Structure 1
Amino acid sequence: MLRLLSVITLLLVSCTLYASPMLVEKKSFTTENFTTFNGKTIKNVTVGWESYGKLNEDKSNAILITHYFTGNSHAAGKYHESDAKAGYWDAIIGPGKAIDTNKYFVISSDTLVNASVHDTNVITTGPASINPETGKPYGLSFPVVTIRDFVNVQKALIDSLGIKKLHAVVGPSMGSLQAIDWAAAYPDMVPRMISVIGMAQSDAWTAAALEQWAVPIRLDANWQQGNYYGNERPLDGLTASLMLITQQAMHPQFINQVNKAHSPLESSPLNDINASFAVVDWLANAARTRAKQLDANHVLYLVRACQLFLAGHDGDLASGLSRIKAKTLFLPAAGDLLLMPYMAKKAHTELLKLGKSSDYAELKGTMGHLDGVYAIQQKAEMITEFLAN
């Protein structure tokens, strides 16, 4: 009997390890004459999106996934079996997983002004897009946009699918901003909301911290006040910005683990003021590779959208949260030094004061803010139960 159980266990493990990946397709959605939160009009807005699972007959099983700052709509599965990596939340989205695609129709869309303009799997409208009135890239003439604008583009997509009510909205980091604003903007459409590594408003500390991401771009001589299209791109400034973003998204413990050989008296920087420490090269190389897929102006617009964030986009936080009818779940990362747990705790506490249904639990790990992406599976059971009730 024990031998038989061992064989069965081995077969189950083998099936799990070698099961074919969930294959997905990038689709495109366009809406015309889109009006932004600040009253400007964008003639054509196009974003990419993908879905997992099937929409049921009464269209009541849709869950919207909203992505993080430098992320995109590729939340789960693979475009091709040979792809090196699956979508960023593949650990919890798929058949039999926490967000079970056997039960739910899961939708994820690229945001307006998505950072990864040069990623062939990203479709987005933003400063790098052609202004139909001039035939040239918008550059900084593109309207300032907010998280509410990201939400309203998604709302137009959801409407186009004939979906009247979502089962839930779930998102990490900048995606959590979209998720909670969905609950405030369209309370009758959102009965459940999960905020992972998130916040309900940008406070003074966060606004100042985010500005640091914009500064290197603006200081790059190639930026040219945003008019660099057709010329040399401001990749040095963008690389420096991504180095800051990457470091702030990680916990010191993780960076120190990866760079165990670091020595304060490293030979090259000790003898040459122009030489870099190995850990700096490590950050720079990763950022430089990533910068090739991003657009500098798009990063500036994303920074501003996050700086401007207030759930509900009206008056004060209590006013915005008072509109929420959804039951909510906040999952900050205990070691997050970017969007620190106090920010999610504040939203959770305010909702309880308003008599709303809210739960709170912290992710554990050594990766800091990135635990919201790479350690999310530790809350899989909690997410499953929350979505089921």
Structure 2
Amino acid sequence: MNNEQVPPMEEKQVENLALVKKQIHRIDSFDTFLGVTIKDVKVGWESYGNLNDTKSNAVLITHYFTGSSHAAGKYKHDDAEPGYWDSIIGPGKAIDTNKFFVISVDSLVNISAHDPNVHTTGPASINPDTGKPYGLSFPIVTMRDFVNVQKSVLDSLGIETLHAVLGPSMGSMQAIEWASAYPDKVKRLVSVIGSASSDPWTSAALEQWTIPIKLDRNWNEGNYYSGKPPIEGLTAALMFITQSALHPKFFAQIGEQLNYKPLEEAASKSILAKHSINQWLYDRAKERAELMDANHLLYLVKANQLFMTGHGDSLRQGLANIKAKTLFIPSADDLLLMPYHAKMAHDILRTVSPDNTHQYTELSAGLGHLDGVSAISQQAQLIKSFLESDASNTYSEKIDE
């Protein structure tokens, strides 16, 4: 196992935070939770702040479904946008890089397999045994595998415990799995817009994302790497994902900007013409699809569908393993991972570990699921207080209306 720095990213000061360096971590042989060995695993990672002498100030950020390890900062001065949680990660911010060493890792089967700033192993990778892309011969992977790859990165840095692990959406599942699989290594857990387990409704909703890909003639049972990729199927899947992650109130705002009308001229003259809002959604998805891989999306969906905290016999037992202080932050308007997911996990934890501190609050910014990414600063002070409080397990419930 080793880490490599990817050139030519230089560390220069941008405002009060250095430009981010992308690193690569390699694992010669990785055994999955389901018992399959993957050779030459590669993932990207980045960090912010400095590790202290005792290596006790590490905070792990676990990313969402279409995200990556780029949680904060910029790679270049002229980048259009910083990392997705830049509003709460940095000097003096909620996750204070003057105090904490913050680290984030690209997931296995990361959807952005063709993004030069993402490094991941998955179906699009070359199988060292065949010299060809894995395609659907790549083994099924789980949240536990994402966690264990992250653990390998931390082990390589000599980090034995985490001051905290935090993540939104799919990242919250990894964060919860960390606290359950390695209870003695995690002191604090923050689950944002997340869930402790897939349920029938969520599994069915996720399945819808896979259908356009499988219906695209270019998908070819996953064997498209020597030909045309199923871009249209992937674009349609991303349209579903984007709509699922947003709230009708946000779509109404976009509709006003586009001057959307039910009886638009083009749409009323051709069955093939798109309404303005649908064209906006298509264009947004098509642009993103260029750097993504359709098979990787299918594998991520499967990992989400297979998820239950602890990967054991019951959700209750998986949550009972957790020793960490917890903070659950769903979005009140979330239509993808509705607040009942977080509330159920919070309530179970109160019964299985009543002596621990378990807190619950909600975001409400009108974006739906995306509140947990774009509006996370709404709960910045609570996150800051939670991270900087002591780690004693004295129960106190906090619910912010």
- Following TM superposition, by how much is the alpha carbon of 1:84 offset from its aligned partner in structure 2, in angstroms? 1.0
Q: Is 1:375 matched with 2:375? A: yes
Letter paired with 2:385: E
Q: For 1:171, which of 167, 190, 199 is the aligned residue? A: 167
Q: For 2:15, which of 16, 19, 24 is the aligned residue? A: 19
Structure 2 equivalent of residue 258 of structure 1: 254
Distance 2:195 2:240 in 1: 20
Q: For 1:236, which of 232, 235, 238 is the aligned residue? A: 232
Please tell me whether the aligned partners of residues 17 and 90 of structure 2 are also in contact (alpha carbons under 8 angstroms): no
SS in structure 1 of the partner of residue 310 of structure 2: coil
* RMSD of Structure 2 on Structure 1 (CA): 0.9
Distance 1:384 1:70 in 2: 26
SS in structure 2 of the partner of residue 193 of structure 1: strand
Q: For 2:221, which of 215, 222, 225 is the aligned residue? A: 225
Letter paired with 1:160: S
Normalising by the residue count of structure 2, what TM-score does the alignment of the two structures yield?
0.92
Q: For 1:202, which of 198, 203, 209 is the aligned residue? A: 198
Distance 1:253 1:293 in 2: 29
Q: For 2:65, which of 42, 64, 69 is the aligned residue? A: 69
Structure 2 equivalent of residue 85 of structure 1: 81
Letter paired with 2:369: H
Distance 1:79 1:238 in 2: 27
Distance 2:212 2:334 in 1: 23
Distance 2:387 2:365 in 1: 24
Out of 87-96 and 260-269, give the one that drifted further: 260-269
Structure 1 equivalent of residue 344 of structure 2: 346
Identity %: 62
Structure 2 equivalent of residue 212 of structure 1: 208
- Following TM superposition, by how much is the alpha carbon of 1:21 offset from its aligned partner in structure 2, in angstroms? 4.8
Letter paired with 2:237: S
For residues 269-316 of structure 1, the C-alpha deviation after alignment (integer angstroms, 9 at most, x for no partner) is 112111110000000000000000100000000000000000111011
SS in structure 1 of the partner of residue 311 of structure 2: coil
Please tell me whether the aligned partners of residues 21 and 81 of structure 1 are also in contact (alpha carbons under 8 angstroms): no
Q: Is 1:55 matched with 2:79? A: no
Letter paired with 2:289: A
Distance 2:16 2:37 in 1: 44
Please tell me whether the aligned partners of residues 330 and 361 of structure 1 are also in contact (alpha carbons under 8 angstroms): yes
Find runs of 4+ consecutive structure 1 residues off by over 6 angstroms: none
Structure 1 equivalent of residue 135 of structure 2: 139
Q: Is 1:161 matched with 2:157? A: yes
Q: Is 1:312 matched with 2:306? A: no
Distance 2:272 2:104 in 1: 44
SS in structure 2 of the partner of residue 58 of structure 1: coil
SS in structure 1 of the partner of residue 272 of structure 2: coil
Structure 2 equivalent of residue 190 of structure 1: 186
Structure 1 equivalent of residue 6 of structure 2: none
Letter paired with 1:208: A
Q: For 2:244, which of 248, 254, 261 is the aligned residue? A: 248
SS in structure 2 of the partner of residue 46 of structure 1: strand
- Following TM superposition, by how much is the alpha carbon of 1:20 offset from its aligned partner in structure 2, in angstroms? 5.1
Q: Is 1:385 matched with 2:385? A: yes
Q: For 2:273, which of 251, 254, 275 is the aligned residue? A: 275
Structure 2 equivalent of residue 10 of structure 1: none
Q: How many residues align?
A: 372
Structure 1 equivalent of residue 282 of structure 2: 284
Distance 2:77 2:269 in 1: 48
For residues 26-84 of structure 1, the C-alpha deviation after alignment (integer angstroms, 9 at most, x for no partner) is 00001121111110000111100000000000000000000000000000000111111
Structure 1 residue runs without a partner (length 5+)? 1-17
Q: For 2:296, which of 283, 298, 301 is the aligned residue? A: 298
Distance 1:365 1:266 in 2: 30
Distance 2:269 2:48 in 1: 55
For residues 346-375 of structure 1, the C-alpha deviation after alignment (integer angstroms, 9 at most, x for no partner) is 000000011243100000111100000111
Letter paired with 2:299: Y
Please tell me whether the aligned partners of residues 268 and 277 of structure 1 are also in contact (alpha carbons under 8 angstroms): yes
Structure 1 equivalent of residue 5 of structure 2: none
SS in structure 2 of the partner of residue 106 of structure 1: strand
Distance 1:176 1:20 in 2: 28
Distance 2:15 2:137 in 1: 48
Please tell me whether the aligned partners of residues 193 and 339 of structure 2 are also in contact (alpha carbons under 8 angstroms): yes
Letter paired with 2:274: S
Please tell me whether the aligned partners of residues 59 and 165 of structure 2 are also in contact (alpha carbons under 8 angstroms): yes
Please tell me whether the aligned partners of residues 20 and 81 of structure 1 are also in contact (alpha carbons under 8 angstroms): no
Please tell me whether the aligned partners of residues 16 and 91 of structure 2 are also in contact (alpha carbons under 8 angstroms): no
